[in-house]
């Protein structure tokens, strides 16, 4: 019986059926539904699969590695930029290798629907010298995840699954299979495997390099890399992951006259690529994200223009693929129409009606009018919407946690007032360590933690900060006199302005917690939050 599943859900079901014992993740679009599916799964509960959110992607990946060390199968899930946060453990666990199967799932966001960049995680996989799997449809999301665990245990290496937004967030019928048993606890056979002091690490790294030909051979024989014969050899096509679907959409009944190499497993299989080169006049590379394959197989000096794709300009260099830009590259007579009737206006996302961030930005904007030099350093999450009209309160937005540390750097350079605005969950994700830097030097900045007690943008998941902000700030060393709590409501506007102004004028670090639950939270959760809101600081 087919189940209608999002790509993300099919992947999650695949992990459960592969014998998963724990998923570790921090929410981030487009990856969030993978972990949520496991959290809601009755079978996962029966099997006692760990699925609570981690504080950030680095802690998530390290915990997954710990579970693998103990012999069980684990998975770690994040959006593309989350892998930057987890890059330290990611790069080193390919050197140590794994014990229980470990699968890293990263969902990229070409076209930046909900992101700051469109970085392509395949580069990370190559960097770490591990196998990469890139499903092309929902059924493959399921099948490939089961295969990924098998491959991980066979090679004793982590395996990377790369998803993209359109596959993560599209549904189709999926046939599921047998469930494989979970592992029992068993420690690594070689006691030095996970001890990466240089003398052991050198041996492990040599081993990683030595098994590269084996990894390539597996990829070349993989059922996920398939060669489709074609009669018209004027173009040979390489299509990776979801690009294959957009390509085939252009041919009635799925009959493509050109030879196609469909790639869903890396390292790049050499043999079939050589066959395409030898038999076709040109090679068209279709891949969502960066020109990863195109760059690898193109002539460096650009003298031999045999390979075309994003680098050659036949496909737009930025933005996601779709059936239309591929039709263009194939030379089909289509006109891409991006003209809309004049009456259609842009409709950017905005804060919900009644959102507490709204009242905070109103207070900040009054203070901006008082001081022309005021700079506000923003952070990731719903509070980032303060960049947009009608607020335009925030001057910078870079990545998780940068608000506090950028405010410090600007203050060191002489900017005053320098204000950081960060959400509660972003603060525990990556803001706490930066705040410690500020406290050590008592840098005169004002950090406003806009605490809605939720990871709001991704669907109001539980925040690690809930009920802990005061003790965290005090523990890090914020003085009680300069740790304030305000309630962002219209009726408190003047009072809130006064509190923030006073802290701006203080010649040292201060933290203002602007505290009101996210309006998206269900009533039971809001009631529960009352237990620790409005507690006094002392």
Residues forming the site for another protein (CB under 8 A) = 2, 4, 29-30, 32-33, 113-114, 166-167, 169-173, 242, 244-250, 253-254, 322-324, 327, 334, 336-341, 343-352, 382, 385, 389, 457-459
Q: Which is nearer to another protein, 71 or 323 (CB)?
A: 323
24 contacts 54 by C-beta, under 8 angstroms: yes
Q: Which is nearer to another protein, 245 or 298 (CB)?
A: 245
CB of 343 to another protein, least distance (A): 4
Pairing type for strands 483-486 and 510-515 reads: parallel
φ and ψ of 416, to 5 deg? -150, 135
Q: Which is nearer to another protein, 301 or 343 (CB)?
A: 343
The rounded distance, in Å, linking the Cα atoms of 164 and 380 is 20
User: For helices 57-69 and 87-96, what crossing angle results, to 10°?
Assistant: 20
CB of 349 to another protein, least distance (A): 4
CB of 516 to another protein, least distance (A): 17
Pairing type for strands 446-451 and 418-423 reads: parallel
CB of 529 to another protein, least distance (A): 21
Q: Six-digit token pair at 417?
A: 């007032």
Residue 490: Cβ within 10 Å count: 9
CB of 176 to another protein, least distance (A): 15
Report the run of H or E that residue 4 belongs to, with start and end: strand 3-6
Q: Which is nearer to another protein, 80 or 408 (CB)?
A: 80
Q: Which residue has the tokens 């507690």?
A: 535
CB of 431 to another protein, least distance (A): 20
List of residues 6+ apart from 322 with CB closer than 8 A: 246
CB of 358 to another protein, least distance (A): 12
Q: Six-digit token pair at 372?
A: 């022309």
CB of 252 to another protein, least distance (A): 10
CA torsion through residues 335, 338, 339, 343, sign: positive
Residue 187: Cβ within 10 Å count: 12
Q: Which is nearer to another protein, 39 or 350 (CB)?
A: 350
CB of 82 to another protein, least distance (A): 14
Q: Which is nearer to another protein, 162 or 408 (CB)?
A: 162
Q: Which is nearer to another protein, 79 or 408 (CB)?
A: 79
Task: Tell me the Ramachandran region of residue 159: left when phi exceeds 0, alpha when psi lies from -120 to 50, beta otherwise.
Answer: beta
Q: Which is nearer to another protein, 7 or 131 (CB)?
A: 7
Q: Which is nearer to another protein, 172 or 196 (CB)?
A: 172
Q: What is the DSSP letter of 402?
A: H
The rounded distance, in Å, linking the Cα atoms of 475 and 470 is 8
163 contacts 135 by C-beta, under 8 angstroms: yes
């Amino acid at each position: 019986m087919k189940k209608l599943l999002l790509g993300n859900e099919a992947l999650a079901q695949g992990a459960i059926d592969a014998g998963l014992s724990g998923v570790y993740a921090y929410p981030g679009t487009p990856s969030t539904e993978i972990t949520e599916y496991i959290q809601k799964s009755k079978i996962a509960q029966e099997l006692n699969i760990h699925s609570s959110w981690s504080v950030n992607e680095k802690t998530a990946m390290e915990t997954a590695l710990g579970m693998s060390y103990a012999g069980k199968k684990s998975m770690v899930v994040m959006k593309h930029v989350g892998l930057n946060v987890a890059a330290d453990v990611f790069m080193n666990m390919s050197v140590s290798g794994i014990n229980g199967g470990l699968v890293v799932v990263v969902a990229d966001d070409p076209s930046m629907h909900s992101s700051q960049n469109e970085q392509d995680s395949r580069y990370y996989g190559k960097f770490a010298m591990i196998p990469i799997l890139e499903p092309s449809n929902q059924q493959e999301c399921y099948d490939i995840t089961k295969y990924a665990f098998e491959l991980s245990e066979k090679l004793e290496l982590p395996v990377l699954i790369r998803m993209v937004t359109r596959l993560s967030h599209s549904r189709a019928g999926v046939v599921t299979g047998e469930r494989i048993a979970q592992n029992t606890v068993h420690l690594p056979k070689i006691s030095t495997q996970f001890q990466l002091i240089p003398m052991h690490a050198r041996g492990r790294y040599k081993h990683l390099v030595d098994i590269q030909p084996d990894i390539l051979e597996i990829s070349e024989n993989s059922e996920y890399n398939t060669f489709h014969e074609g009669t018209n050899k004027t173009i040979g096509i390489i299509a990776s992951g979801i690009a294959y679907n957009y390509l085939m959409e252009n041919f009635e009944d799925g009959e493509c006259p050109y030879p196609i190499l469909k790639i869903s497993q890396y390292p790049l299989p050499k043999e079939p690529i050589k066959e395409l080169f030898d038999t076709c006049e040109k090679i068209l590379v279709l891949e969502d994200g960066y020109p990863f394959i195109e760059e690898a197989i193109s002539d460096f000096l650009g003298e031999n223009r045999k390979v075309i794709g994003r680098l050659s300009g036949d496909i737009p260099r930025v933005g996601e693929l779709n059936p239309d830009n591929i039709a263009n590259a194939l030379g089909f007579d289509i006109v891409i129409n991006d003209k809309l009737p004049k009456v259609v206006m842009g409709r950017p996302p905005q804060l919900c009606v009644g959102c507490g961030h709204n009242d905070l930005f109103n207070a900040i904007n009054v203070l901006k009018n008082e001081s022309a030099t005021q700079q506000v350093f923003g952070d990731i999450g719903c509070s980032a919407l303060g960049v947009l009209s009608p607020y335009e309160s925030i001057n910078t937005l870079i990545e998780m946690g940068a608000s506090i540390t950028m405010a410090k750097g600007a203050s060191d350079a002489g900017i005053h007032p320098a204000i950081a605005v960060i959400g509660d969950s972003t603060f525990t994700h990556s803001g706490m360590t930066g705040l410690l830097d500020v406290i050590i030097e008592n840098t005169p900045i004002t950090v406003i933690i806009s605490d809605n007690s939720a990871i709001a943008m991704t669907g109001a998941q539980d925040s690690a900060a809930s009920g802990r902000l005061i003790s965290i700030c005090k523990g890090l060393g914020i003085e009680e006199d300069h740790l304030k709590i305000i309630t962002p409501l219209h009726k408190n506007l003047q009072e809130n302005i006064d509190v923030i102004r006073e802290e701006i004028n203080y010649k040292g670090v201060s933290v203002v917690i602007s505290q009101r639950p996210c309006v998206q939270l269900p009533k039971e959760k809001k009631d529960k939050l009352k237990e620790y809101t409005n507690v006094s600081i002392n």
